[in-house]
Structure 1
Amino acid sequence: MIRSTFVRSVLCALLVPTLSCNLLDVNDNEDVSGRGARVFDPYQSSASGAIRLSLQQFNGCAILPNGSAVSKGTLNLPGYPDLCPDMAAADPTSARTAPTGTLRLLVGTRYFLNQLSLSEIVLNKHTSTTDFTDAVRWMKNESRFRNLDWGDLGKVSDTWTFSTGIEGFSQDAWTREVLFDNARWRRVTDDTFTVEILDADGETPRMTPVVYSRADFLGDSAFAGHSRLAWRLETVQAPQFPGDTAVHPLPVLTGQPASPPAFRTMVKMEMVGSANPFKSFEAPFIPGPALLKLTWSQLPDEPFLFPIELVTPEGVAPTCTNAEGQPVVCGFGVDPRFKFSTPSNGKGFYEPGESFRLFLDMRDGDGNQMLPDGVLPSGKDMLADKSNGLLYPTQATYFSLLERDSVPGYIVAGPLQNLKVRSDPQAKAPYWSADAESIGLVDELATLSAFPGVFSSTWTTRYTVDLPKDAEPGTYVALVKSHRYFLGERTAKTNAYFLQVGQAEPTTYPNAVGNCQLCHRGVLSLDNLRHGLGVDHVEACKTCHQRDSDLVSRFQQGIHQLHNASPRFTQNKADCTVCHLTRESAVRPSHNVCATCHPSVHGDEYFSTQFSAKGEPNRFGNCAQTCHAQTTPRGHILPEN
């Protein structure tokens, strides 16, 4: 049963989820400015009115979130390839193999489209670093999207980013990405996407078609990691001066394989985050092979095909365990839980310098235990569909599908009152945090090539945390994140658990930023986006997205960049009070944060800082302490205190 708060919030989202939305119930605690509701999760997987459906295609084949290509099985689909990209290969764009994956939907279950990702990528086809004519010509004339209206396409950015995912290499690697946009097909706002389920013959309908519009989805921009028209130069050294377009290969280190530069050209159309879960459909009750056909109104004669298998609950193995310890069919959703070892002093809090244990208890959305006690499945199990849907990152998700959200992990940090953004990576952090640890894989991408043995290993669910001897007293947070794909539903969940250190009295977050819930409401609340972390823990995001180096983008940069570039965020971009609750949190300008709105204010004056781990000045340094000390931005609306 969908709760009334869910209904009201979704109706509001349909009216455009912005601060100007006419909130229908002024007593709903989601309407309160500041931190918002302490507990609000309108999406409850199996208990919801419908299940989020994820559909992905890569180079003509349906792809599962674990990287497996979907086989058409016994379906007679002339338009669907017999061979699909080998997502385990170093270059899946050229290596093709017989697909083995199965996209299964549960009969009698209502689904709503929550992710649609359609992409085509070619590798090492366009190698010029100065003339992108051939890359653009491929997008317009040769790609799967050639029949779209490409008029007015132009280059919108040319940026360098530090590459952190090169496993087995200790040297720094960089990626140059040239983004294109503003093609006429990108500016269409009233196009539609029709979902149909057809019989095995590919013609007989099994359901009434459901029509989605672009306005039914929250995110589709490149800055949010979704749609992108791009040319990329990957795995190279940094440029040596502004305007340097030469390719500087990484040196080959002793005992390590060579990693040559890669040239990637892509067209990716992706929409994520349904604003209208009521626009749903029911998987037909006839089990067996079927076809899901998606027709885009801008390509009416070129539908995207997804072979599916309709299964009954009896056809799904009972691989979860209920409260009585009996095997049961797993439910939808994911709910990672932490249990703590008992503090040694008997006072209910840990002492500075004490070590304690965390015990991971992985549950589905119905509370069933997903895994044998003490063991997490291997990456090999994940690809073989033997992980109950738990997802780990692979080379395919990182480098081919360009998705960076699938890393499960945990971190402990605190005390809460000190969780403030750090400007200078050379300064002591205002709070303590353990190193963020991946759950399931030792080293994020230690998967198929560099460490094949690791990919076959199972993992513990018991972790040790060593508190520093000078740990400041207060409340600390343990965050645990997991990702899952199960029977068509792709979901992520991050849970926060609290522990006391040095004292029994609780402390709280700084309450310096907030208001997220005024836009992110109902099915679009933060509980249901990205990592699934609720709005009341937004100040804990920095514990993972805070670096000791200037090389990697930090939270304060990414959050400004994402919202400033989003057409959905229609507020005055100079009104800092929308998100900042205190003046102090809004008057720490830095080169990179300000550049999210003002990219050319200083031109190339600070070019070298983006390639220095801890430069002087560093690109996240507090400019208000130097040049802007007396002139905080006059065109911005700041909190009064």
Structure 2
Amino acid sequence: MCGLLLGLPACQLLNTEDTENVPGRGSTAFDPYAASASGAIKLSLQMFNGCAILSNGQPVAKGNSPVPDYPAQCDDPMAADPTHSPKITPQQRFQVMTDTKYFLNQITLTDTVANVHTDASNLAAVSRWIRKESRFKDLDWSDMSQEGVRWYETLTEGTWSRELRFRNARWMLSQDDTFTLEVLDSDGSVRQTATYSRKDFAGESPVAGHTNVSYVIENLLPPRSPSDGELRPVPSPLPGLGGIQYRTMVRVDLVGSTNPFKDFRVLGVSGDGAIRLTWSLMPNSPFTIPVTFVRPSDVPPTCFKDDDSPTPCAFGLDPRVNLSRPKNGQFYVPGERFDVIMDVRDGEGNRLHRKELMPSFADFYGGNTNGLIYGFEGHLITQGERDTTTSYQVVGPLQDLKTWSSVAGPTPYFSAGGSASATYVAMVPEIASLPIIPGLPTATWPTRSTLTLPPDAKPGTYVILTRAVRQFMGEHVSKGNASFFQVGQAERTSYPNRVGNCQTCHRGVVSLDNLRHGFSVDHVESCKACHMSTADLLGRVQDDMHRLHMNSNKYPQNKADCRMCHLTRESAVRPSLTVCKSCHPTVHGDEYFSMAFTNSGAPSRFSNCAQSCHVEKTPSGHILPD
């Protein structure tokens, strides 16, 4: 019957194959991941408060998909308070291309409420909602404990959030559970399945922004003492704005396939269907995503060739940058102005935007950017998704790059932002950070921008780090590229070579090319170009790199051996309160509590402790480079 209806032998919408030993495949095919050139496409499945969502933050419409209990209206993932904001009717579709091999690379399942648990002293209510009322109530929450309170500064200096994380629940420690993926046809019939182990995913640590169970209180002034239990709101600039916000979240986020050879092919069908994901720890509560299957021949010509003529988009992502020619034809000189032209393409070389213009924010919200993702606060605050911004940063010279740990004095190297608060340049201005101006959301933005080198720019090699994020036909991918240019001299200079060795663990399918921003390990010393903020923002490189690896059970090396990542002794012996607390959260107890909330002045949480107490002796428990 199904062969007559669909024209498919044996009705296999999904054909699971083991192709590891097929010629042309193997781990090198995914180092780095290169979309269709790798043999299979990354598939990302995301749900927010019971609705499937796209990477532009919009909920997915049911259409004619066979999901009988799918909501007609969804919580607004873009709203700061999705619990009490008006629900919205989904309009956009989650599309998957037929006749294409995929492998499951991301599972993100989020349930959150805002301004429900407004009594910070009543953690029993928070715990009750997590264990008994959330969409994850069927998990085994036995032995759940509190990790402790962490304060971090937000994008607005002087505004803090207080986060309490929960850990050690039995489901969090499980490693033997599985996820069964099923493809449903338009009638709701299961055609074939593929099963993934939890061990098939590299990343799930909350430090990296993945699986996270937390209670966060936002928009606060810092506490005045360790015993200060008063939650003081940041003064509101206008009546009716601001105020303390309370957010409780359970977010299960597994990212980064360690087994992309466990692929499947959606065979030649089109129209509405569904993908159902059943977690072995929640067998009676599957997560079902409405899907529209699209034939390759039906992909509309919305991308652009070099002459700006329309052409169908392909998978993959390749953010490029072009520079205007130096006046002397060889290198720029201090004080010279030059143009930076963004050029973001898919894996086949098709431009995702017109040659001269980037799409508007309205296009982004409406799903009309050929998958290109722009940054907005809803991604970070409401959904907990960190990797979103399409942006670039210009820094140099390479030999002077170092961790910026002082708010006093000049920037130690040139950066396009020029300050700790401007850690990157968004290709399209982020609407949330701008005043409300009529027409701003619908404005298109030029791909060309102009930068001016400072009059005292040091000679050497400079770099433009370009990063883009895209979701297209089920593929969610982030990719970073580096482009170099010369200032003041034709001779090349290089990175300081103070840290590295990432490829010891990050190689093959879990290489840095395939994780987070998609930058090669060759550019690990450029991370500080964007993650350089002197505030305690999430993602500060000294803090997060230590916390991530020191708390990871997947990091096999001796965690006291600094030589694994630090190549020089000098790079490992500058202690500060912020750096030391990343591994030792209770260092010195409360003795320097007030310092933790001080950006400037002396001392501050970035002060060099080696210049005072630790000048004579380095930490005895650390193994340092010679």
Q: 2:172 aligns with which of 172, 186, 192?
A: 186
Q: 1:276 aligns with which of 259, 262, 268?
A: 259
State the Cα distance separating 1:323 from its structure 2 match: 5.0
Contact 1:446–1:452 at 8 Å: present in 2 too? no
- Number of the residue aligned with 1:120: 111
Q: 1:340 aligns with which of 294, 310, 323?
A: 323
- Number of the residue aligned with 2:244: 261
For residues 370 and 323 of structure 1, the distance between their equivalents in structure 2, rounded to whole angstroms, comes to 11
- Number of the residue aligned with 1:17: none
1:7 aligns with 2:34: no
For residues 223 and 154 of structure 2, the distance between their equivalents in structure 1, rounded to whole angstroms, comes to 14
Comparing 123-132 with 508-517, greater Cα deviation is found at 123-132
What does 1:454-493 align with in structure 2 at a 5 Å threshold? 454-493=440-479
Contact 1:446–1:455 at 8 Å: present in 2 too? no
Contact 1:6–1:522 at 8 Å: present in 2 too? no
State the Cα distance separating 1:548 from its structure 2 match: 4.6
**TM-score normalized by the length of structure 2:** 0.92
Query: Any gaps of 5 or more consecutive residues in structure 1?
Result: 11-39
Secondary structure of residue in 2 paired with 1:53: strand
For residues 68 and 537 of structure 2, the distance between their equivalents in structure 1, rounded to whole angstroms, comes to 48
State the Cα distance separating 1:9 from its structure 2 match: 5.8
For residues 492 and 550 of structure 1, the distance between their equivalents in structure 2, rounded to whole angstroms, comes to 24
Q: 1:369 aligns with which of 334, 340, 351?
A: 351
Deviations 1:527-558 (A, max 9, x none): 12111111001111111111254667631111
Return the letter of the residue paired with 2:512.
L
Contact 2:161–2:217 at 8 Å: present in 1 too? yes
1:410 aligns with 2:392: yes
- Number of the residue aligned with 1:59: 49
Q: 1:425 aligns with which of 399, 403, 407?
A: 407
Secondary structure of residue in 2 paired with 1:610: helix
- Number of the residue aligned with 1:438: 425
For residues 85 and 183 of structure 1, the distance between their equivalents in structure 2, rounded to whole angstroms, comes to 27
State the Cα distance separating 1:201 from its structure 2 match: 2.2
- Number of the residue aligned with 1:14: none
Contact 1:382–1:390 at 8 Å: present in 2 too? yes
Deviations 1:313-361 (A, max 9, x none): 2221111233576532111111111111111123x00111111111111
Given the superposition, is the C-alpha separation of residues 496 and 578 from structure 1 closer, same or farther in structure 2, using an over 3 Å criterion?
same
1:386 aligns with 2:377: no
Q: 1:400 aligns with which of 365, 376, 382?
A: 382
Return the letter of the residue paired with 2:395.
A
For residues 475 and 56 of structure 1, the distance between their equivalents in structure 2, rounded to whole angstroms, comes to 41
- Number of the residue aligned with 1:136: 127
Q: 1:635 aligns with which of 604, 621, 625?
A: 621
Comparing 1-10 with 133-142, greater Cα deviation is found at 1-10
Given the superposition, is the C-alpha separation of residues 610 and 344 from structure 1 closer, same or farther in structure 2, using an over 3 Å criterion?
same
For residues 506 and 76 of structure 1, the distance between their equivalents in structure 2, rounded to whole angstroms, comes to 59
Deviations 1:415-460 (A, max 9, x none): 111111133332443322120443343246348x955642221111
RMSD: 2.1
1:83 aligns with 2:67: no
State the Cα distance separating 1:288 from its structure 2 match: 0.7
- Number of the residue aligned with 1:561: 547
Q: 2:585 aligns with which of 578, 599, 608?
A: 599
Q: 2:142 aligns with which of 140, 151, 161?
A: 151
1:522 aligns with 2:508: yes
Contact 2:35–2:315 at 8 Å: present in 1 too? yes
For residues 620 and 586 of structure 1, the distance between their equivalents in structure 2, rounded to whole angstroms, comes to 15
1:573 aligns with 2:556: no
For residues 318 and 146 of structure 2, the distance between their equivalents in structure 1, rounded to whole angstroms, comes to 42
Query: Any gaps of 5 or more consecutive residues in structure 2?
Result: 1-18, 418-422
Contact 1:393–1:445 at 8 Å: present in 2 too? no
For residues 104 and 548 of structure 1, the distance between their equivalents in structure 2, rounded to whole angstroms, comes to 41
State the Cα distance separating 1:511 from its structure 2 match: 0.8
For residues 60 and 442 of structure 1, the distance between their equivalents in structure 2, rounded to whole angstroms, comes to 31
Secondary structure of residue in 2 paired with 1:155: strand
What does 1:21-36 align with in structure 2 at a 5 Å threshold? none
- Number of the residue aligned with 2:154: 163
Contact 1:392–1:441 at 8 Å: present in 2 too? yes
- Number of the residue aligned with 2:225: 241
Comparing 216-225 with 321-330, greater Cα deviation is found at 321-330
For residues 589 and 238 of structure 1, the distance between their equivalents in structure 2, rounded to whole angstroms, comes to 23
- Number of the residue aligned with 2:93: 102
Given the superposition, is the C-alpha separation of residues 615 and 210 from structure 1 closer, same or farther in structure 2, using an over 3 Å criterion?
farther
Secondary structure of residue in 2 paired with 1:209: strand
**TM-score normalized by the length of structure 1:** 0.90
Given the superposition, is the C-alpha separation of residues 118 and 525 from structure 1 closer, same or farther in structure 2, using an over 3 Å criterion?
same
Deviations 1:260-318 (A, max 9, x none): 21111111111011111011111231111011000000011111000000001222111
Contact 1:61–1:70 at 8 Å: present in 2 too? yes
- Number of the residue aligned with 1:205: 190
Return the letter of the residue paired with 2:445.
W
Contact 1:234–1:263 at 8 Å: present in 2 too? yes
Contact 2:66–2:273 at 8 Å: present in 1 too? no
For residues 341 and 582 of structure 1, the distance between their equivalents in structure 2, rounded to whole angstroms, comes to 37
For residues 229 and 358 of structure 1, the distance between their equivalents in structure 2, rounded to whole angstroms, comes to 41
- Number of the residue aligned with 1:68: 58
Given the superposition, is the C-alpha separation of residues 372 and 63 from structure 1 closer, same or farther in structure 2, using an over 3 Å criterion?
same
Contact 1:408–1:440 at 8 Å: present in 2 too? yes
State the Cα distance separating 1:404 from its structure 2 match: 2.3
Given the superposition, is the C-alpha separation of residues 446 and 102 from structure 1 closer, same or farther in structure 2, using an over 3 Å criterion?
farther
State the Cα distance separating 1:182 from its structure 2 match: 0.4
Return the letter of the residue paired with 2:41.
I
Percent identity over the alignment? 48
1:287 aligns with 2:274: no
State the Cα distance separating 1:471 from its structure 2 match: 0.8
For residues 54 and 255 of structure 2, the distance between their equivalents in structure 1, rounded to whole angstroms, comes to 16
Given the superposition, is the C-alpha separation of residues 534 and 395 from structure 1 closer, same or farther in structure 2, using an over 3 Å criterion?
same
State the Cα distance separating 1:620 from its structure 2 match: 2.2
Secondary structure of residue in 1 paired with 2:563: helix
- Number of the residue aligned with 2:3: none
Given the superposition, is the C-alpha separation of residues 261 and 325 from structure 1 closer, same or farther in structure 2, using an over 3 Å criterion?
closer
Return the letter of the residue paired with 2:180.
T
1:228 aligns with 2:212: yes
For residues 344 and 352 of structure 1, the distance between their equivalents in structure 2, rounded to whole angstroms, comes to 12
For residues 125 and 573 of structure 2, the distance between their equivalents in structure 1, rounded to whole angstroms, comes to 45
Q: 1:45 aligns with which of 32, 35, 54?
A: 35
State the Cα distance separating 1:235 from its structure 2 match: 1.4
1:612 aligns with 2:598: yes
For residues 81 and 150 of structure 1, the distance between their equivalents in structure 2, rounded to whole angstroms, comes to 27
Contact 2:25–2:39 at 8 Å: present in 1 too? no
